Amino acid sequence: MPTIKPISDLRNYNTVLREVTEDTPVFLTKNGRGRFAIVDIRAYERLCAKLELMSALSEGEESARKYGWGSMDAARDKLGV
């Protein structure tokens, strides 16, 4: 269950920060609408790494569609394996 709090709770920010864990961000609302998320730095870094990987995989797939897929033997030869 997500932790959702009004932004006014940041007046006592230590209490809000204690609720943030690696697996549980705290979402802040302003005027009843979602506005901010406070996340653990490790969770943020993991998310950034996943996005970077997904972007690289997408570029590779796009390149393969444009230029064609290579064979496993060609990949081994290119990598010297």
pLDDT at 70: 85
The strand ranges marked E within 1-81 are 3-6, 26-30, 33-38
pLDDT at 53: 98
Q: What is the pTM of this model?
A: 0.72
pLDDT at 63: 93
pLDDT at 81: 86
User: Torsion angle, CA of 48/51/56/58, rounded to 10 degrees?
Assistant: -170
Query: Which residues, given as ranges, of the chain have pLDDT below 50?
Result: none
pLDDT at 1: 80
pLDDT at 71: 87
